[in-house]
Amino acid sequence: MRSFRTELENEIVEKDILDLEKKIRLFHEGNIDDDKFRSLRLARGVYGQRQAGVQMIRIKIPYGKLTTRQLNRICEVSDQYSNGKLHITTRQDIQIHYVSLDDSPALWSELEKDEVTLREACGNTVRNITASEKAGIDPNEPFDVTPYAHAAFEYFLRNPICQEMGRKFKIAFSSSESDTAFAFIHDVGAIPVVKTVDGKEVRGFKVLIGGGLGAQPYMAETAYEFLEEEKLIPFTEALVRVFDRFGERNRRMKARMKFLLQDIGKEELLRLAEEERLALKNQEIWVDRSKVDSVVLPKEHTSVEVEILDQKKYDKWLNANVFEQKQKGFFGVLVRLQLGNFDTATARKLIKIVEKYTADDIRLTIRQGLLLKFISKEDLPALFNELDAIGFAEPGYDTTTDITACPGTDTCVLGISSSTGIARVLEDLIKVEYPDLITDDTFKIKISGCPNACGQHTIAQFGIHGSSLRNKENKMQLPAAQILLGGGFDGNGNPHIADKVIKIPSKRIEDAFRSIVDDYDQNSTEGEYYVDYYKRQGKDYFYELLKPLHSLENLEPSDYLDWYTQDDKFQLHKAVGECAGVIIDLVQTLIFEAEEKVGWSEEAFKKGLFADSVYHAYAGYVSAAKALLLDKKVKLNSQATVINRFAEHYDERFNFAEGTFVDHVLRINKNEPTEEFAALYLSEAKVFLNDVSELRKQDLAATEA
């Protein structure tokens, strides 16, 4: 894999890792507040784990693209710093668990040797940018979205506009209108479109905004039916800037862009984004498609005829896991992994198989599997045999038996009841009682350990999230499964959010699945999609169907135990999620943060990064203003509120040439980010910060007196 990094970029990465190491030391010494440190480490992929004293490390894999060198590097760090286990997420990341906090800088440094990063894999940032795994080889795609996903990843990584937002921000690229990357559940979703203008084909995107899952899912709204390709990243930047300024910051459950969209409406949101246009770093961004490596095909070899060791399984695999690419003569192979889990020993065997038969371009999928590309038809039998030998040739990718689930109570602090346990139970049930569903996609099953939807249960035909029930007779808690039905795509390709139908004891999930499948078999019409059948029957119909399973009469002792536990009494585990955590701002730290941000502004200015310099200075203004307002116990829920409230409380004590603090600060979107404006904005930010510090000292002195 060739490197596109400049010497400057390598210096930035090295500085970032050294900064994490320094902040860990300061945290151990008690010199950094726990909540502030949490924010810092999350933005560097270091996530607290359910088990005390260890961390989950999330490795950011843009649009799921891995080379064999990168996968081998990940294996090495997992073996050295963890337990040799790997987990693929629904955002095409790789997670490793049980890592010491003190080891995280060294682990990150090792990964960067092959340009693999942890930066902004967690926290209130632009998260990993996802894309359809088939992008580039999809027979139905208007064009390959991979270069655009890569360009967006590079553009927002370490970008000042998205380092301390109120919540996370998610972007996805689907390869075609079938929306296999689920653009409809993202803050920004892009679907490729080609239009003919004046006899020429013009590339662009249908752009969706404001989608999201979680406890209150919301379908994204269409911002543009067609936005020219060069305008996509600038528009996304404008939207991120609006979200950063106006997004909720106090009420964690209301801090996603979907709530801002609902509060102010699409028209106003787009108007605010348009207001940011002048201040953007680039008005147009034409994507350099050469920034994504061309496909490295396997070494030429003579295909050898082999004996299929399991013909029946091979035929099912060929039907369910293999498809012909748009590049004639080549095939893609999809690998189903149970719950997205595998180990480093198996991964190294896979690397040898890839080097022999496929392109050096492994794609992690949002369905927690793998895609191998550019396989010749003649090599399919041999590839099957070798994949089967390592457990990677199970038929049924993206079918009913290919269950999506988050780690849940295995490692996550938010897990309520076992998502992985339910997944294993249902997979075993399907294999024994409903074998036809192994290669059938009628029911997509998705499971989360809590309502937050990391397992995407709200867009499943059969969704489950972990919960609990309380038996009023004996006051005991028992693990429960909240069942959702009717999500996913209907027969016309339209997406739907699932309905919450009923909550039942977890140990009755098998009976619930049997009831749903048998009812559909008996009462649906020929070829009727399950989503359409669900809509036809209605939520009440299914509530009545499953209602007998809700009763807490005649419970067995085993009902009080979660799946795959024998002795542990079920207890409702409550914790604040780190992934969506909002920093608890302390007055005594905010002025220091403002000084730090103004320092970053100065560094950026010296490097000629004028747009970055302006935004860092803007962030310094907001932090300094917030410090004084919090000292007065003023309620603040967004950057916009900080700016407006500061004007109300302090305009008389400051002298702003523009008249008000609002006008003074919001010059950021009234001026182009030129060298002249950046110099002026930075110098005045320094003056303001000095004035705030002096005023703070005066107020403290007056209080003490």
pLDDT tens digit string along 630-670? Answer: 878 888 899 999 999 999 999 988 888 778 999 999 999 99
Alpha helices in 333-444 (DSSP H): 344-357, 380-389, 419-433
Q: Residue 549 corresponds to which amino acid?
A: L
Element (H, E) at 121: none
Task: Please name the fold of domain 311-389.
Answer: Alpha-Beta Plaits (3.30.70)
Q: Where in the chain is the domain with CATH 3.30.70.3340?
A: 311-389
Q: Would you say residue 154 has pLDDT above 50?
A: yes
DSSP label of 461: S
Predicted local distance difference test score (pLDDT) of residue 574: 54
Query: Could you give the CA distance from residue 380 to residue 374 in angstroms, rounded to a whole number?
Result: 11
CATH, domain range 587-704: 1.20.120.330
Q: What is the pLDDT of residue 2?
A: 45
| Band of pLDDT at residue 573, cut at 50, 70 and 90 | low
Q: ∠ CA 350-138-349 to the nearest 5 degrees?
A: 0
Q: Decide which of 695 and 230 is more confident.
A: 230
Task: Name the residue type at position 610.
Answer: F
Residues of the chain with CATH 1.20.120.330: 587-704
- Mean pLDDT of the chain, nearest integer: 92
587 confidence band (pLDDT: 50, 70, 90): low
pLDDT band at 423 (very low <50, low <70, confident <90, very high): very high
Q: Please provide the DSSP assignment of 510-569 as one string.
A: HHHHHHHHHHHHHHSPTT--HHHHHHHH-HHHHHHHHGGGG--TT--GGGGS-TT-SSPP
pLDDT over 70 at 572, yes or no: no
d(CA 280, CA 426): 50
pLDDT higher than 90, residue 623: yes
Q: Rounded to an integer, what distance in angstroms lies between the CA atom of residue 237 and that of residue 152? A: 10
CATH of the domain spanning 404-560: 3.30.413.10
Residue found under tokens 């803050």: 187
Rounded to 10 degrees, what is the CA torsion of 462, 129, 579, 110? 120
Confidence of residue 580 (pLDDT cuts 50, 70, 90): very low
Ranges of CATH 3.90.480.20 domains, the chain: 1-121
| Residue carrying structure tokens 């090295």 | 14
- 1: confidence class by pLDDT, cuts 50, 70, 90: very low
Which residues share a beta bridge with 333? 322, 372
Does residue 578 register a pLDDT over 80?
Answer: no
The rounded distance, in Å, linking the Cα atoms of 391 and 422 is 21
Separation of alpha carbons 675 and 672, rounded Å: 9
Query: Given this model, what pLDDT does residue 690 score?
Result: 92
**The pLDDT of residue 613 is above 90:** yes
* Element spanning 488, H or E: strand 488-489
Residue pair 46/103 in contact (Cβ under 8 Å)? The answer is: no
Quote the pLDDT of residue 7. 75
CATH number of 1-121: 3.30.460.80, 3.30.465.10, 1.10.10.10, 3.90.480.20?
A: 3.90.480.20
Name the DSSP class of 163.
Answer: S
The residue-averaged pLDDT of 437-466 equals 93
Pick from 375, 300, 299, 361: which is nearest to 332 by CA? 375
Indicate if the pLDDT at residue 582 is higher than 50: no
**pLDDT exceeds 70 at position 566:** no
Q: State pLDDT tens for residues 353-373.
A: 999 999 999 999 999 999 999
- Secondary structure class of 350 (helix, strand, coil): helix
Cβ atoms of residues 169 and 126 within 8 Å:
yes
Residue 590 pLDDT > 90:
no
